[in-house]
A and B are shown apart, each in its own frame.
Chain A
């Protein structure tokens, strides 16, 4: 460093004072002189560049050939490896075909075409005269139409225009046959419906559910249901067994679990992803989409993340044969909140 970096910003002139932007500016020295390239000066370099461009084009031709070798030469069988190999050959063939042409042309432009920068003046796109004329014409058009002098016509037209848009919106009503939000309140679960394994549909005995285990559960008969996916999107349940002492059961829910076996909706109350991760040690349920965390011991209360209310609990019991059954539907709508949920 020299001796020039002394001084505070205010004394060194680094910070300008008012009005300084009006002071004279440096003169534009104009375009820098053109620096000739090697190919401009040396005929051998020029010849070499020409050969390089041609070679690149030949590489492109080879790439196209490679594509057809892969297309006709590789017979797809049932293995992923063959598929991958064909994909690689077709892709690289295309890549060479394209890059050969592309790099070749760019190289050609950069080495052999003239590289003198050219100056072009910007032209005034529009003149103020035209603008005045346009304003006049529009004014005349409006005047002759009389739209500003006849508010009755103008206002009825606006009214008619606004109304005429409504059918264009209303006609979409039949995008859905059924618009009753009440359907979101009910699931396939009902008193006596057995809890079965997802996806096989085999019923679950209470004795199969050991402490610490977790089951993905669907209602019996779901696989045969008419609207299977729609029902499943509401009805999937997680079944877990805890030590009954660890469960904090709120009044009114005493008979919703069976010997520490509890069932909760698997649909996250945030935006509806399946809450698929069960942490056995902490008794936490975690939604992999947005990390909402529910505490199983506290009736799946939200303890972290963006969900705002607990996972709905499915009241369960056992039937005469020892299979787990629901004793009713969920007592609240499952899944994300919606306006009519209440």
Chain B
């Protein structure tokens, strides 16, 4: 450190600035590491970006809102500019939300921007996770980052729900009432949790203030922390890439951060912001002045929760009113507990555990940096679609009343059908999806072996009609043949020569997953196919030549 004279002499202005910064706080190594780091490009990689950007917009708009919102549930009488509510008794929280909407310039815009961004945030997180799942990006070495992603999804839901309950309007109050009812259904401690959460009996005067602290401090802090870990791991692992010519497990093909990727990604932030601004400018969301302050007596029919809560609400609706019983003078309400906890528990458990489940079945412990095309992993795509169908049936059930009124069908019938689909839908989804994937793979094989159908029909001298097939170039061919098709791995005996019961189960699952499979075309097969063509279609090729 004693050498205070610089041996490095910068030649440009940028160089002098760099030199100044680096000799004081360092940072050149960061530029070296990230300045030209390569990121692969694909439209499906944008979902994660959208999630990050909508979170930034949530922080910006949310901070603005905190300057005006007052989470007190003290009673007051409205005396603002909105005439229909003049003199109405309401909480200070509701009043300050009205104030933000009617008296703060840009306040309504910020509220709408915040609410729409929240909807987009959860949506983009969900789509990002579907992309990661269907392409197998969660495989080694990225299992832990998948877990961080699952935690982020839960935190996103928590952020959304705590925010939804803040304005203390009729909708949010009824939402809380439902939460209260579910909490009371928890055996042993439910009643106490409810009394503690609300500071006494529902609704009390504490809940909005408490949710507010969670919403603006605890949950966003956790989300930020998780995002930091998430992105750090992306840098450690480097991004995955889709298969294709020139792309291997040991390289990354794409654009350098500076300037192309930074420009595209940075510009995309403004695009997301702009699109959300268009929505917030034109589409009203949660017009709280229409619903009025919370009152335990009225409720409006046909109201819907924010989309991401819908599936849990739908599960509550699907459950028949059975399973409530009294045992030793205590009440157990399975009719509430079961739908509130079981589907969400099942879905999240499978989600968290899936990387390990798949690794256990396939015994594939290799690193994967090349993604699967969803069709090339029919079992996984089938499972994923089964999960999506399961979710969507519950989601649809949250709108069962609107489905009934819009399509003029019986509400009871809609519920019966959805109850059946709750069980059958995922099974059908799995079977059909897997069949579609296998069919697409066979189509790929056919194209690889015999080329693209040109649609040109040629008549041979002896009268036969044939269609001319155009062979693929090497790059396109490679896209279709370069994948792995896992095979059934029967139960293996362990070192002592025994086949354990879990191993038998694994073998059975492996059979179930990989019994039906389509293998990639091999060079030998292509060779055979070509010589076969040469025999049959030689005249056609001549015809093609003469046509030029």
Contacts and interface: CB of A to CB of B under 8 A. Distances in A.
B83 to A, nearest CB: 6
A30 B532 CA distance: 28
A31 B246 contact: yes
A179 B109 contact: no
A99 B275 contact: yes
A15 interface: yes
A337 B185 CA distance: 6
A5 B446 contact: yes
B259 A87 contact: no
A78 B83 contact: yes
Given A5-B446, A109-B264, A337-B333, A288 B203 contact: no
Nearest to A104: B267
B369 A122 contact: yes
Interface string A96-134: 111111111110111001110111111001000000000
B532 to A, nearest CB: 8
Interface residues of B, number: 142
B180 interface: yes
Interface string A1-45: 111110000000111101011011110111110000000000000
Contacts of B318: 306
B251 A94 contact: no
A311 B411 CA distance: 21
Nearest to B448: A26
Given A90-B106, A227-B201, A338 B517 contact: no
B200 A177 contact: yes
Task: Give the most central of B198, B245, B267, B339: most A CB within 10 Å.
Answer: B267
A106 B184 CA distance: 52
Interface in B312-340: 313, 316-324, 326, 329-333, 335-336, 339
B64 to A, nearest CB: 12
Interface in A284-342: 288-292, 302, 304-309, 335-342
B345 interface: no
Given A273-B177, A336-B181, A337-B184, A306 B316 contact: yes
Contacts of A216: 297-298
A183 B194 CA distance: 13
Interface stretch (B129-137, B222-230, B373-381, B481-489): B481-489
A267 B482 CA distance: 62
A109 B191 contact: no
A273 B317 CA distance: 13
Contacts of A114: 260
B246 A335 contact: no
Contacts of B109: 87, 90-91, 94
Interface in A45-102: 71, 76-78, 83, 86-92, 94-102
A308 B82 CA distance: 42
B72 interface: no
A47 B251 CA distance: 35
B30 interface: no
Given A25-B522, A272-B180, A306-B316, A176 B200 contact: yes
A119 B255 CA distance: 9
Given A29-B478, A199-B295, A216-B297, A14 B253 contact: no
Nearest to A198: B297
Given A109-B260, A337-B184, A290 B316 contact: yes
A236 B112 contact: no
Given A28-B482, A288-B303, A125 B236 contact: yes
B153 interface: no
Contacts of A177: 199-200
B113 to A, nearest CB: 8
B110 to A, nearest CB: 9
A205 interface: no
Contacts of B106: 71, 90
B321 A307 contact: yes
Contacts of B453: 1
Contact of B298 (A86, A109, A276, A339): A276
Contacts of B523: 24-26
A301 to B, nearest CB: 10
A184 B330 contact: no
B198 A92 contact: no
A239 interface: no
Interface stretch (B7-15, B277-285, B347-355): B277-285
B184 A336 contact: yes
B148 to A, nearest CB: 17
A179 B272 CA distance: 48
Most chain B beta carbons < 10 A, residue from A29, A94, A172, A290 = A290
A2 B185 contact: no
B467 A76 contact: no
A194 interface: no
A98 B270 contact: yes
Given A30-B245, A306-B321, A308-B322, A118 B256 contact: yes
Interface of A: 1-5, 13-16, 18, 20-21, 23-26, 28-32, 71, 76-78, 83, 86-92, 94-106, 108-110, 113-115, 117-122, 125, 172-173, 175-179, 181, 183-184, 198-199, 216, 218, 227, 229-230, 232-234, 236, 266-268, 270-274, 276-277, 288-292, 302, 304-309, 335-342
Given A184-B201, A216-B298, A271-B185, 8 more contacts: A16-B517, A78-B81, A99-B271, A105-B267, A106-B268, A121-B250, A272-B180, A306-B317
7 contacts: A29-B478, A87-B112, A94-B281, A101-B270, A233-B203, A273-B177, A302-B321
